[in-house]
Chains A and B, each alone.
Chain A
Amino acid sequence: MRRNPFVYYGKKALIFLLSVFLLSVTVFYISRLAPGDPLMSYYGERVEKMSVEEKETARGKLGLNEPIYIQYIRWVENAIKGDFGISFKYKQDVMQVIGSRIGSTLILGGTGFVLTFVGALLLGILCAWYEDRWVDRLLCKGGTLLSCIPEFWLSLVLILVFAVTLHLLPGSGAYDVGYKNNVLNRIEHLILPLVIVVLQHLWYYAYMIRNKLLEEIGADYVLLGKSKGLSKRKIMFRHCLRNVLPSYISLMAISVPHVVGGTYIVETVFSYPGIGALSYESARYHDYNLLMVLCMMTGILVIFCNMIGQIINEKLDPRIKATEVVETSEVTEL
């Protein structure tokens, strides 16, 4: 099918903008309609001592008294100019608050993602290679068990074993006091969270690779390859893997938000100063401006990765229609 690239990407961009718009409206309304007092995050405990009039003035100062749609329009106007307001809790520009923290999350999420991507591929191939032998069975059982363990509990157990009992690795934070610029110290702090992020997702994708490879092995061309004398390795890597990779890559593109979402919880358990702990705080204390930007960032990441996944799929394998991508991802999820 030949498409006009201009129309093709134009359409994608339009859908993207529309999704971002809908997302921002939804988050804006939900966060403001939900019960809770944003003044708490601005004034802290002092709120309880404030009189009703004082609260009113404070709300007026923060622009929270107007109807929500007017607040929304004002937010959009400012956002287009690059001004996302101040964080109620930190009394700082939202972008500054996020900027000081985003590095840690990117390192954790990025490394975790790459390790998961490569590790799952290798594990999947290993399992498919030794199908139904003890390696495969052991890994399958282990993987199922691992998928049943909640992320936070695994983190706790690892902290208990490696930090509290064995004193091998630090159990919280991103660096020790006074070692801010020490790379080794930072890496030490990164190990445990990273292990959790990787373990949590590794099996899920490895299993998908394994099953897809096994499906491929049943195909006719494998028989042909075998009959013309190709080795098992050649058939597996040159032919089968090649057919599996496109769907794997597009699946991984879609999974970026899931891996990043996983880091959010890990960060809170390890008190790792990243975006995750921040978004949790902002939602909890109704820090509207901060919450809005964090939600938009996560949302845009989700939408963007989905689109990349679709585009990769359509380019690499024209047989697959865009909608099928999500279906494959869903099957493996279960």
Chain B
Amino acid sequence: MTEKELFTVVGIRPEPPAPKKKVKRLKGFPWISGILLALILLCCLFAELLMTKEPGYLDLQNFNVAPNGEFLFGTDTLGRDIFSGIWYGGRISLTIGFLATLISTLIAVVYGSVSGIAPGWLDALMMRFTEIFLSIPGLLMVLFLQAILGQANVLSLSVVIGVTGWASIAKVVRTEVRQIRNSEYVVASKCMGGKFPHILRKHLAPNFIASIMFMVVMNVRGAIGSESTLSFMGMGLPLEIISWGSMLSLSEKALLTDSWWIIIIPGAFLVTLLMCLTNIGNYLRKSANRKESNL
């Protein structure tokens, strides 16, 4: 047997297929939110097919136009078509949401697992650090970092949001790892020379994924919210990079001219998206808890 095969011997026991459970698992799934979310995702993905105008084109003759037949959602103070901008900008908002969450989840998983496996004093130290981290309001930290870093782009914004949002996931990962780190299969894997990355991937991760899934979804929500707040305040994406947040950054001008569509339409999309994510997240939390209580 090769070394790799040896390790898989002590991996998690493959669960017997249970078709009945699958039906049960989707019970209570928020279908409306799911469908809306899928719709928004698809529309943003295939934005080119939907767009009626070039989203970045400054139509100086038609600025501040209320929604009508030509400009479905009106135009903003710079003359850009909002309908096209919504789909095109949604991409950026979603990209930042997912990228930032990816970063924070990676940090959280590694940090939490290390802390869970580490000896007591190191664990205590690392957890104290996360507690301090948690007690600082997240949005303030993002604002502070981004303000200092200056002009943002998609990547830097994702990194800033990502590195400030890992603490609560890390805590859950750590608690889960603490519970299973002395299980036979982990010890056995260690005895056979399994290195940390291997144990993490094969033995720890499958155990905590269910319990962090809901936090990950909430993290996407938080990241998209932070992006829009930052861009709105003029510290996130500049106006040329269209996102829902940067579209909203024109709203102060819009207030002066009473152009409600510039404020309400992108914001409504934002809130809908966040609401869908929240509902799905809550569903995931409930289903993770249900599994636990069944055991």
Q: Does B105 contact A (CB under 8 A)?
A: no
Contacts of A36 on B, CB cut-off 8 Å? 148, 150
Q: Does A298 contact B (CB under 8 A)?
A: yes
- Number of chain B interface residues as a range: 35 or more
Q: Given the interface contacts A150-B225, A160-B255, A306-B135, does A265 sit within 8 Å of B233 by beta carbon?
A: yes
B143 & A153 in contact (Cβ 8 Å cutoff): no
Q: Does A104 contact B (CB under 8 A)?
A: no
Q: How far is the CB of B254 from chain A (nearest CB, A)?
A: 9
Q: Given the interface contacts A144-B278, A334-B214, does A261 sit within 8 Å of B150 by beta carbon?
A: no
Tell which of A164, A260, A265, A302 touches B258, judged by Cβ atoms closer than 8 Å: A164
A298 & B228 in contact (Cβ 8 Å cutoff): no
Q: How far is the CA of A257 from the CA of B221 in the complex (A)?
A: 22
B150 & A330 in contact (Cβ 8 Å cutoff): no
Contacts of B271 on A, CB cut-off 8 Å? 145, 148-150, 153
Q: How far is the CB of A6 from chain B (nearest CB, A)?
A: 23
Q: How far is the CA of A303 from the CA of B133 in the complex (A)?
A: 11
Q: Does B251 contact A (CB under 8 A)?
A: yes
Contacts of A273 on B, CB cut-off 8 Å? none
Contacts of A279 on B, CB cut-off 8 Å? 144
B149 & A35 in contact (Cβ 8 Å cutoff): yes
Q: Given the interface contacts A35-B149, A283-B148, A286-B148, does A334 sit within 8 Å of B218 by beta carbon?
A: yes
A330 & B267 in contact (Cβ 8 Å cutoff): no
Q: Does B80 contact A (CB under 8 A)?
A: no
Sampled A-B contacts (27; CB under 8 Å):
A31-B148, A34-B148, A34-B149, A35-B150, A36-B150, A144-B275, A144-B282, A145-B271, A150-B225, A150-B228, A152-B233, A152-B248, A153-B270, A156-B255, A164-B258, A261-B140, A265-B229, A268-B233, A279-B144, A283-B147, A305-B135, A306-B135, A326-B131, A326-B135, A330-B134, A330-B168, A334-B214
Contacts of A156 on B, CB cut-off 8 Å? 248, 251, 255, 263, 267
Contacts of B135 on A, CB cut-off 8 Å? 254, 257, 302-303, 305-306, 326
Q: How far is the CA of A330 from the CA of B167 in the complex (A)?
A: 10
Secondary structure call for the B interface: helix
Q: How far is the CA of A188 from the CA of B263 in the complex (A)?
A: 24
Q: Given the interface contacts A254-B135, A283-B147, A306-B135, does A151 sit within 8 Å of B229 by beta carbon?
A: yes
A150 & B229 in contact (Cβ 8 Å cutoff): yes
Contacts of B232 on A, CB cut-off 8 Å? 152-153
Q: How far is the CB of B283 from chain A (nearest CB, A)?
A: 12
Q: How far is the CB of A89 from chain B (nearest CB, A)?
A: 14
Report, nearest first, the 4 A-B pairs whose CB atoms are least far apart: A261-B137, A283-B147, A34-B148, A148-B274
Q: Does B178 contact A (CB under 8 A)?
A: no
Interface residues of B in 139-162 (CB under 8 A from A): 139-140, 143-145, 147-150
